[in-house]
Amino acid sequence: MVACGGGSGGNADSSGNAKVTKDNTTATKPVASSTAADSVAGSIRTPVVLFFGTSLTAGLGLDPDQAYPMLIEQKAQADGVPIRVVNAGLSGETTAGAVRRIDWVLRSHVDLIVIEAGANDALRGLGPDDARANLEQLIAAVRAKQPSANIALVQMEAPPNFGVAYTKAFHAIYPEVAKKENIPLLPFLLDGVAGIPRLNQPDGVHPNLTGERIVADNVWKALKPIVGKLDRGSKGG
C-alpha cells in the first residue's frame, strides 16, 4: 500500500483563512456557525463534522464537491442521518503542521472531527515516533479547544520504499494512538485505491473521481455508526 497526501510539488503549511480552489492546494475553511436548516429555533439540529487532513481530504485535482468529505455528506443525507461537512484539508501538511493549525480551524463548534494526518510524514520518511507524538498532541489540542467534540482517527500507511521496518512502525502508530486516546480508528483511507492506476490521477498519488467514490464508501461504512450517535437535540433547548 502506498501512503499519499502531499500536494504535487507543494508543501503548504498555513494557518490562515484559505479559499477553496479547484486544485485544492489550500482548502481550509472556518466552520460556519449556522445553516438555513438549523435557523429555526426548536428544530432538530444538523451535526457538524470536520474533516481535518491533507490534500487527500482536500480532494487535490478534483472539484471541491467531489472530495470524499462532500461525498460523505451526500451519503449521510441519503441514509437519513444528515450532517454538515466542513472540509479542512490542506496540501502538503505534516502532523507537526496539523498541530500548529488546529486551533485556528476549531474556532467554531464541531460535533465530530475526523483526523487524516501523517501521509506527508511517511512520504518524507519522517520518524514514526515524532508522528505519534504529534498525533497525541493534536488530539489533546482538540480536547482542550472543544471538550465535547467526538474524535475519529484515520489509519494511514507508509510507502514500501522505506523498508519493512519503517512501514510496520508507521502502521502501528495509529492503533496505538487510538487505543491510548480511546477514540475510534477508521480503516486505511486509500484501501482498495492506492497503487491502482485506473483509480488515481496521473500523479499516481491522489484518487480520481472513481477512486474518490471508493474512499467515500469505505470511510462512510466506518463513520456511519459514529455519526448516528451524534447529538441532534433541539436547538431551542
Coil/strand/helix, residue 114: strand
With contact defined as beta carbons under 8 Å apart, do 15 and 22 qualify? Answer: no
Q: How far apart are CA 62 and CA 10, in angstroms?
A: 16
**Residue 137 DSSP code:** H
* Closest listed residue to residue 89, CA positions, set 205, 7, 183: 7
Residue listed under C-alpha cell 438555513:
36
Q: Is residue 55 annotated as part of the catalytic site, yes or no?
A: yes
Q: How far apart are CA 29 and CA 174, in angstroms?
A: 26
Active-site pick, 55, 91, 111, 171: 55
Q: Which of 43, 79, 203, 234 is catalytic?
A: 203
Residue in the structure block whose three cell numbers are 472543544: 146
- Is the separation of the CB atoms in 207 and 200 below 8 Å? yes
Residue 130 CA to residue 127 CA, distance in Å, equals 5
203 has catalytic annotation: yes
Exactly one of 23, 91, 171, 206 is catalytic; name it. Answer: 206
- Write the single-letter amino acid at 178: A
**Which residues are marked as active site?**
55, 203, 206
